[in-house]
Structure 1
Amino acid sequence: MTQSTIAAPGRAGSRGRSLIGLAAFVILVDVASATASSVTLPQIDGWYAGLEKPWFNPPDWLFGPVWTVLYGMMAVAGWLVWRDRGLAGARGPLLLFGLQLGLNILWSLIFFGMQQPGLAFAEISALWIAVAATMVAFWRVRPLAGWLFVPYLLWVSYAAVLNASVWLLNA
């Protein structure tokens, strides 16, 4: 196997290697999702149910389907960037991808696990910056990958407003 096969899987790699890469990105975001959900779900009928929420708060059942779609789009976007440039060629964009994924998990730990909406608002502000930076970095590698992050950025924007509202209503 040549170095170019390792560095740029989409150009020189096999279809099987590409599918393994896609599966790896899907597993990565599934682990992130499961980690966040393990903290979030136990609080939905407890602490979160007791909070005062703004009029624009969506029904609880909507969050699961939305996040499923967003995590799927994240996985495909990451895979597209990896497939186009490889790990070495997309080091910066993929590090941003990992950072935003980590911040995504951290928000759930702070908001639901620690029950700290104020601190979670500060954290989601950092998440928003990381998602926007990842979107731009992905766009530069592969515009479709950047476009796949647009709904995620919009949802995090909405979630930040919702987070701030819950914080203020319950302060």
Structure 2
Amino acid sequence: MLIAFVFSFGTASIGSWLTDLGPWYFSLKQPSWKPPDAAFGVIWSVIFFLLVFSGSLAWTAAPTRARKRFVLGLFVVNALVNMLWSALYFGLHRPDWAMVEWVALWLSVFSLVWFLWRESRWASILILPYLAWVSAAGVLNWTTIALNGPFA
């Protein structure tokens, strides 16, 4: 559990570091239905806590070293694409590139739900809020592009 916590919140810390809510971000036109900026930190904190429990459950339930490595690989890939999205959107100010990368992010979250089901149904179920949030974030990302693009 401790390793899962360090990994999960290490990923969250890097993602937070890559998220610059500076003048560029505040100059973007946003849809009226966008959650307040303060809600994002709370939502992501809940998601990363759920990832800790999900990862711990899946790792414990995986019966072989190979399956444990597969579980770890799923979480590592997800962490990398999660951080890359933040780097593209906030670091490079390219919501358009982030939207393309969002497909990989969504697929990585869906893969967690799909493949963790075999190891632990609870591990899989705990990922569902993450899938819902990334889906909503994709719609927000798309809307931001429509309201503000093109980006250069």
TM-score range, shorter chain: over 0.9
Match of 1:62? 39
Match of 1:71? 48
- 94-103 or 64-73: which moved more? 94-103
Match of 2:97? 119
Distance in 2 (CA, whole Å) between partners of 1:95 and 1:168 is 34
Structure with larger Rg: 1
Calculate percent identity across the aligned residue pairs: 34
What is the identity, as a one-letter code, of the residue corresponding to 2:133?
A: W
Contact persistence 2:61–2:119 (CA under 8 A): yes
Q: How much has 1:87 moved relative to structure 2? A: 4.5
Choose from 17, 21, 27 the match for 1:50.
27
Distance in 2 (CA, whole Å) between partners of 1:116 and 1:138 is 32
What is the identity, as a one-letter code, of the residue corresponding to 2:61?
A: D
Choose from 100, 113, 130 the match for 1:135.
113
Q: How much has 1:151 moved relative to structure 2? A: 0.3
Task: Provide the aligned C-alpha RMSD in A.
Answer: 1.1
Alignment of 1:7-22 (within 5 A): 22=1
What is the identity, as a one-letter code, of the residue corresponding to 1:114?
A: L
Contact persistence 2:5–2:52 (CA under 8 A): yes
Structure 2 alignment gaps of length 5 or more: none
Q: How much has 1:44 moved relative to structure 2? A: 1.4
- Residue-by-residue CA offset, 1:113-157 (whole Å, 9 max, x unaligned): 000000000111110011001111111110000000000000000
Distance in 1 (CA, whole Å) between partners of 2:146 and 2:47 is 27
Contact persistence 2:82–2:105 (CA under 8 A): yes
Q: How much has 1:69 moved relative to structure 2? A: 0.3
What is the identity, as a one-letter code, of the residue corresponding to 1:29?
A: S
Contact persistence 2:18–2:83 (CA under 8 A): no
Q: Which runs of 4+ in 1 moved over 4 A?
A: none
Match of 1:83? 60
Match of 1:24? 3
Q: TM-score, normalised by structure 2?
A: 0.93
- Residue-by-residue CA offset, 1:33-74 (whole Å, 9 max, x unaligned): 11011121xx21421111001111110000001000000101
Distance in 2 (CA, whole Å) between partners of 1:95 and 1:163 is 27
- 29-38 or 87-96: which moved more? 87-96
Q: Secondary structure at the match of 1:47?
A: helix
Contact persistence 2:59–2:71 (CA under 8 A): no
Distance in 1 (CA, whole Å) between partners of 2:40 and 2:75 is 22
> Aligned in 2, Cα 1:87/1:26: closer, same or farther, shift over 3 Å?
farther
> Aligned in 2, Cα 1:87/1:155: closer, same or farther, shift over 3 Å?
farther
Contact persistence 1:87–1:94 (CA under 8 A): no
